Amino acid sequence: MTWLEVLLLAAGGLATGFINTVAGGGSVIAIPLLAGIVGPSIANGTLRISILLQSGAAVAGFQKGQAIPWKAALPLMVPTTAGAVGGAWTATVVSAGFMRTAFAIAVLLVALTVFIGPSRWVNPAEPRLHEPWRSLAFTAIGFYGGFLQAGIGFFLLLALVPGLGMGLVRGNAAKTLLVMIHAPLVLLLFARADQVDWYAGLVLGLGSVAGALAASLLAVREGAARWIRWVVVLAAVGAAIHMLITA
C-alpha cells in the first residue's frame, strides 16, 4: 500500500468507528475504501479486523460510563453469535448482492421509525419483543451481521431500543457489546477462507479505535440520546442510498 492509501484507510476508520458506535452503517464508508485497495473479494473479511478493534474500544468507553446493561445483554449473546457464525460461513461461499438490496430497504424502514416515533428511541419503555421471538430476532440479526456487517447496528438498535425497551444510550452500549462478542469468531472464519488482508485491516482498525472511543465517551453524556437519534437517521438514509446504488 502507498502512504496515501494508509492515510485514507486511517481516516476512513476514524469515521467508521464513530458512526458504527453511535448508530450503524459506518461500514459503507470502509467497504468501498477496502475494495479499492485490497479488492472486493476480501474487503468483507478484512473489515472484520476493524469491527473487532472498534467494538472492543467502544465497549471500554461505555463501561467507563457505566452504560452497559449486562443483565439484559448476556442472554442475547448466544443467539446473536450463533447467527453471526452461520452468516459468516455463508458469506465465504455466496454473493452478497441480494442481501445488499434487502438491507437498503430494511434500513430505510428503521430510519422511518426513528423519525416518526422519537420517544420510543429516546426513553426506556416496556419490552415489546418476547420469547421465542426475541431469540429468533437476534439470531437473524446475527446472521446478517456475519454475512455482510454493514448496517447490523441499525437492526440491533431496533431490537434493543423499541424492541426490548432500552434507552438509546444503553441500547448502543448493548449493541456494541454483542458485536464485540461474535467479531473474533467471524474474523476467524473469513481468515480460514483466506479472505482477510491483515495489514490493511489493522490500519483501518487503528483509525476506527479512535473514532469508537470518542463516540462512546460522548454517547454516555447527559442528553446524548437526542443527538444520537439524528445520527441514526442520517446514517441510515446514507447507508441505504449507497447500498441501493451499489447493489
pLDDT score of 55:
94
pLDDT score of 89:
94
pLDDT in tens, 114-170: 555 545 555 556 777 788 999 999 999 999 899 888 778 888 988 998 889 888 888
- Locus of grid cell 428503521: 110
pLDDT score of 222:
52
Q: Could you state, in order of their start, the residue ranges of all structural domains in the chain?
A: 3-246
Q: Pick the residue with more confidence: 32 or 182?
A: 182
Per-residue DSSP letters for 52-96? HHHHHHHHHHHHHTT---HHHHGGGHHHHHHHHHHHHHHHTTS--
Average pLDDT, integer, range 219-243: 63
Residue 20 has pLDDT above 70, yes or no: yes
3-state secondary structure of 108: helix
pLDDT score of 192:
95
Average pLDDT, integer, range 216-227: 66
pLDDT score of 199:
96
Average pLDDT, integer, range 60-86: 94
Q: Which CA distances in Å does 59 have to 17, 21, 62, 88, 221?
A: 12, 9, 5, 22, 15
Average pLDDT, integer, range 19-34: 78
pTM over 0.95: no
Average pLDDT, integer, range 200-227: 82
pLDDT score of 119:
52
pLDDT in tens, 42-55: 888 999 999 999 99
